[in-house]
């Protein structure tokens, strides 16, 4: 596999392309650990394990047949990343930011949701609204594991209180789609709140499984800065001389904007550090390899994407509870308008591409860098995702030739040294329990 988009209309990879094995996807740094491959192959054939690097990764328990691997390659957000097919119908079309129906700064109308949720609580408020109004039967999202609160598990919420329990950003690995086929088997309308790559995976699956479009009524994304390894969280424990089995609570953020990283132990001790302290050392961010080549961390295939709204991507101290809300589809616009009318969301003011680009300047830089990075990986002989309808060449055209060459050569050299890949996941690592 070595295809990246050459035009906006490029579609499926040639049928002669051999599917990558799960091991090849993982070892080449393409896996984000969403778990959809396990759902497709079945729990008897694929396990999700926690690697020593602190990543949830699939392990094939037997050699998967070509048909299964072909299906996995068609839906995996590490092998296929497709943009929004109906971008021409959008009210606004931006090269970097994609389709936009409405762009505002706003937050949850309920002050409790606003305080507990991350940023401004917008996604939590929308999840509650969808359930309260009967638009969906349940919401698929993630929340802290009850038994291991530093870790994140997929969660099904059937009422507003359950959605609120899962509020607040979670950092580290999360296999949101680990049993997605079982969720479709329920035959009930639902909403998905997830990372952009999770939504990409589900949109990929919709091309071969009609149940996705029939049952998934809304897909809501948060604008993603990258998924960190669990070892990043373990560093926080080391700071306080704690072990994971002592934890009763590990809250990454929330209870403010951004709120404190708060740890509570089973014996009643509590520890806190600020968001800036949590991320102060960029050399220790430990962002997963797939995130460094992500062409769509801004949720272009979601119905709505929600971001933080901090100047230059980081809070000064504690900021006003506020999200950037990017409404992307007509379906998302109808939901947004209904939520505002009901007082579930409140608008501070309209914004525009120039301001959101300033608030999320790191996302702009990444969008402009990805084409050259993928090209550099391909030159190094590494497999890269098949990308379509995401304007990567047009984004790269906003760079100087020197900038693109630097990004491409850097990725080529890192790929040759193995720095864009990762060690194989192996059976016998910590097997993650089913949610």
Is residue 371 situated within a structural domain?
A: no
Is residue 390 situated within a structural domain?
A: no
Instruction: Give the burial class of 325: count Cβ atoms within 10 A of its Cβ; 0-12 exposed, 13-18 middle, 19 or more buried.
Output: buried
Is residue 405 situated within a structural domain?
A: no
Is residue 190 situated within a structural domain?
A: yes
| pLDDT confidence bin for 435, thresholds 50/70/90 | very low
pLDDT at residue number 149: 96
Radius of gyration of the chain (CA): 20
Is residue 147 situated within a structural domain?
A: yes
pLDDT at residue number 9: 37
Bridge partners (DSSP) listed for residue 386:
80
Res. 294: pLDDT tops 50:
yes
pLDDT at residue number 280: 80
Number of CB atoms found within 10 A of residue 115's CB: 17
Cα gap 38→33, rounded to integer Å: 10
Q: Sheet with 46-50: list strands edge to edge.
A: 56-60, 46-50, 430-431
116: left (phi over 0), alpha (psi -120 to 50) or beta: alpha
Helix (H), strand (E), coil (C) string for 53-88: CCCEEEEECCCCCHHHHHHHHHHCCCCEEECCCCHH
Res. 434: pLDDT tops 50:
no
Candidates 140, 267, 162; CA nearest to 216 is: 140
Cα gap 209→53, rounded to integer Å: 33
Is residue 351 situated within a structural domain?
A: yes
| pLDDT confidence bin for 6, thresholds 50/70/90 | very low
pLDDT at residue number 15: 46
Which whole-number Å values give the CA distances from 78 to 96, 197, 216, in the listed order? 20, 8, 22
Cα gap 271→142, rounded to integer Å: 24
Residues belonging to the chain? 435
| Residue 160 structural domain | 27-361
- Considering 94-98, 166-170, 318-322, the range whose residues carry the highest mean pLDDT is 94-98
Is residue 398 situated within a structural domain?
A: no
Q: Encode pLDDT of 198-213 as tens digits.
A: 999 999 999 999 999 9
pLDDT at residue number 346: 98
User: Sign of dihedral through CA atoms 155, 160, 162, 168?
Assistant: positive
Domain count, the chain: 1
Q: Encode pLDDT of 389-425 as tens digits.
A: 999 999 999 999 999 999 999 999 999 998 999 998 8
CA atoms within 13 A on the CB side of 55: 27
Q: Encode pLDDT of 366-385 as tens digits.
A: 999 999 999 999 999 999 99
pLDDT at residue number 283: 62
| pLDDT confidence bin for 218, thresholds 50/70/90 | very high
Question: Residue 432 has what DSSP assignment?
Answer: P
Cα gap 111→116, rounded to integer Å: 9
Instruction: Give the burial class of 207: count Cβ atoms within 10 A of its Cβ; 0-12 exposed, 13-18 middle, 19 or more buried.
Output: middle
pLDDT at residue number 5: 56
Res. 269: pLDDT tops 50:
yes
Q: Who contacts 18 (Cβ-Cβ below 8 Å, separation ≥6)?
A: 1
When the pLDDT of each residue in the chain is averaged and rounded to a whole number, the result is 92
| pLDDT confidence bin for 433, thresholds 50/70/90 | very low
Is residue 151 situated within a structural domain?
A: yes
Q: Encode pLDDT of 7-18 as tens digits.
A: 443 334 444 478
The arithmetic mean of pLDDT across residues 313-327, rounded, is 87
């Amino acid at each position: 596999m070595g295809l990246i988009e050459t035009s906006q209309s490029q579609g499926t990879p040639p049928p002669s392309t051999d599917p990558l094995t799960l091991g090849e996807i993982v070892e080449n740094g393409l896996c984000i650990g969403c778990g959809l491959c396990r759902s497709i192959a079945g729990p008897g054939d694929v396990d999700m394990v926690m690697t020593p690097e602190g990543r949830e990764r699939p392990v094939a328990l037997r050699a998967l047949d070509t048909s299964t691997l072909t299906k996995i390659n068609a839906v995996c957000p590490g092998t296929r990343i497709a943009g929004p097919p109906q971008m021409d119908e959008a009210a606004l079309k931006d090269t970097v930011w994609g389709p936009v129906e409405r762009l505002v700064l706003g937050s949850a109308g309920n002050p409790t949701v606003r305080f507990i949720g991350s940023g401004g609580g917008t996604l939590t408020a929308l999840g509650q609204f969808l359930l309260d109004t009967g638009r969906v039967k349940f919401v698929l999202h993630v929340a802290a594991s009850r038994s291991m609160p530093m870790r994140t598990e997929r969660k099904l919420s059937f009422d507003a209180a359950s959605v609120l329990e899962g509020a607040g950003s979670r950092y580290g690995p999360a296999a949101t789609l680990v049993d997605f086929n079982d969720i479709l088997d329920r035959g009930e309308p639902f909403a998905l709140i997830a990372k952009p790559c999770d939504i990409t995976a589900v949109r990929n699956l919709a091309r071969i499984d009609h149940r996705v479009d029939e049952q998934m009524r809304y897909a809501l994304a948060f604008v993603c800065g990258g998924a960190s390894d669990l070892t990043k969280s373990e560093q926080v424990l080391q700071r306080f001389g704690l072990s994971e089995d002592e934890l009763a609570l590990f809250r990454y953020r929330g209870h403010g904007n951004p709120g404190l990283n708060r740890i509570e132990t089973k014996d009643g001790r509590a520890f806190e550090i600020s968001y800036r302290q949590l991320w102060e050392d960029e050399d220790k961010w430990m962002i997963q390899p797939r995130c460094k080549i992500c062409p769509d961390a801004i949720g272009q295939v979601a119905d709505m994407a929600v971001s933080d709204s901090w100047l230059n991507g980081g809070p000064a101290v504690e900021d006003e509870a506020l999200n950037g809300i990017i409404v992307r589809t007509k379906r998302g616009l109808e939901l947004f308008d209904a939520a505002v009318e009901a007082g579930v969301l409140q608008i501070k003011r309209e914004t525009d591409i120039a301001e959101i680009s300033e608030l999320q300047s790191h996302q702009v830089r990444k969008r402009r860098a990805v084409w050259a990075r993928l090209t550099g990986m391909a030159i190094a002989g590494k497999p890269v995702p098949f990308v379509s309808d995401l304007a990567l060449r047009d984004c790269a055209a906003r760079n100087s030739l020197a900038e693109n060459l630097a990004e491409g050569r850097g990725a080529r050299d890192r790929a040759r040294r193995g720095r864009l890949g990762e060690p194989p996941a192996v059976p016998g690592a910590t097997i993650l329990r089913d949610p």
